[in-house]
Structure 1
Amino acid sequence: MIKVTIWNEFLHEINNPIVASIYPEGIHGAIAAGLNCDQISVRTATLAEPEHGLSEETLNDTDVLIWWGHLAHDLVDDEIVERVYNRVLAGMGLIVLHSGHASKIFRKLLGTPTEQLKWREADEKERIWVIDPSHPIAAGIGEYIELEKEEMYGEHFHIPAPDQLVFVSWFEGGEVFRSGVTYSRGQGKVFYFRPGHESYPTYYNQEILRVIANGVRWAAPSATTAPSYGHSEPLERILVKS
């Protein structure tokens, strides 16, 4: 059983009636409903909860953390960011969705600035092309996923060269975007997946949910031995040189 925590700042749904009508249970609620299955157990956490819902106990009991944020990146406490960062280095998987590219945790892990891309809200078609059909995150997906309406994100996307490029998006207005990228950080795996603007019902799309579920399985911790750092005793006897 993979233990997943879905974190959402949960502000759009409270403050914007349009978003509330699309996601009455919150974006986190929609994703949770789409992911719950025999292999994945889901809990949710939000910004307003004590410790943003990400206590040491919760994170230590989380295999994969899913992160959605937009309005309140700066309101996430630095101590919580450091806590999540250390858990990723220790093996917890992290899936960052849509505008989470500007979150403190994503920028800390990748070393990126806040302004990273072009954007536009114009109800555009998005076609998400599978670039690496052999990758487990793309399992069960055809050549592409087509979304009737989404927010546009366009290159240049100011991120380090990814370990793997899984998806590239094309938008009706002509832009393209690296919309599915993976990284390794310490013992942890990181997957960024672009679609999911709050004013569109993207997180009810079964193919989008399949990608996220695939990402959860891919990012789940593997049973590897933690590396050691600092001063180290020799494994073999060192002969004294005359």
Structure 2
Amino acid sequence: MNITVWNENRHEKTNETVASIYPKGIHGAIAGFLTEAGHDVTTATLDEPEHGLTEEVLNNTEVLVWWGHMAHGEVQDDIVERVKQRVLEGMGLIVLHSGHFSKIFKSLMGTGCDLKWRESDDTERVWNVDPSHPIAKGIGEYFEIEKEEMYGEHFDIPAPDELVFVSWFTGGEVFRSGATFKRGRGKIFYFRPGHETYPTYHQAEVQQVIKNAVEWAKNQDTPKHTYGNYQPIEK
């Protein structure tokens, strides 16, 4: 499968803690374990021309993985529209952590996508609430992330097509942390864990979920429908 991992790559340049955890960038860490899983993976970052998301790159991408946080506003609107059209055409999209506030996710959801948050070394317990779902393959009843940023409800998104994971935090909050959506011919999965100052993407369960998600999001040659004025099939 051809996968593109997109990342702002800004925290890694300005925060020594992030650089020490992800010396090849968050995109490099994710690309690494997806490559080990047998996929053809390329990376793209914000400061590349066209944010690395040229028409050629997107046309060759079956699933796009998106991580963003501090520079959502710097993503050009025409590039967002380009990505959106590819999703509607059938490209899979995996949105991670603070990508909930990205232009592309908000555009596809049609809502504000806001939430509660707190950085205080909370433990996150990720409950598997749909164990038969392909994205939950190999994941037990729950897994824990020792330290993570808290996200809490209400999460201002449309009702998900499927809810795969729900998180609980030591502060008492809960959060819909693994949710699927369909837009056009494309499939979208939002996965909550992944704050930049924690080694979350080095954890085996988190990697397994993302590996499962890209397999699920790949388009399975769904039919292309015609729209607009239409002639009758029957005479």
- TM-score bracket, normalised by the shorter chain, equals over 0.9
CA distance in 2, matches of 1:37, 1:150: 25
1:39 CA drift (Å):
3.6
1:193 maps to a residue whose letter is F
Residue in 2 that maps onto 1:53: 52
1:37 CA drift (Å):
3.2
Alignment of 1:118-129 (within 5 A): 118-129=116-127
| CA shift digits 1:190-218 (9 cap, x unpaired) | 00000000000000011100000000000
1:188 equivalent to 2:186? Answer: yes
1:19 maps to a residue whose letter is V
Stretch deviating more after TM superposition (31-40 or 118-127): 31-40
Helix, strand or coil at the partner of 2:36: coil
1:198 maps to a residue whose letter is E
1:129 maps to a residue whose letter is W
CA distance in 2, matches of 1:39, 1:89: 26
1:154 equivalent to 2:152? Answer: yes
Residue in 2 that maps onto 1:171: 169
Residue in 1 that maps onto 2:112: 113
Helix, strand or coil at the partner of 1:36: helix
1:218 maps to a residue whose letter is W
1:69 CA drift (Å):
0.2
Residue in 2 that maps onto 1:79: 78
Alignment of 1:1-242 (within 5 A): 2-37=1-36, 39-113=38-112, 116-237=114-235
Helix, strand or coil at the partner of 1:222: coil
Conserved 8 A contact 2:90-2:185: yes
CA distance in 2, matches of 1:214, 1:54: 24
Among all aligned residue pairs of Structure 1 and Structure 2, give the percentage whose two residues are the same amino acid: 66
CA distance in 2, matches of 1:24, 1:39: 22
1:101 maps to a residue whose letter is H
**Count of residue pairs brought into register by the alignment:** 235
Conserved 8 A contact 2:37-2:211: no
Conserved 8 A contact 2:68-2:98: yes
CA distance in 1, matches of 2:23, 2:105: 27
In structure 1, list runs of 5 or more residues that go unmatched.
Answer: 238-242
Coordinate RMSD, CA, aligned? 0.8
Residue in 2 that maps onto 1:240: none
Helix, strand or coil at the partner of 1:51: helix
Question: What TM-score do the two structures reach when normalised by structure 2?
Answer: 0.98
| CA shift digits 1:33-72 (9 cap, x unpaired) | 1111354111000000000000000000000000000001
CA distance in 2, matches of 1:19, 1:140: 29
1:164 CA drift (Å):
0.2
CA distance in 1, matches of 2:171, 2:136: 25
Rg comparison, structure with higher value: 1
CA distance in 2, matches of 1:78, 1:154: 28
In structure 2, list runs of 5 or more residues that go unmatched.
Answer: none
Conserved 8 A contact 2:4-2:42: yes
- Structure 1 runs of 4+ off > 6 angstroms? none
1:203 maps to a residue whose letter is Y
Question: What TM-score do the two structures reach when normalised by structure 1?
Answer: 0.96
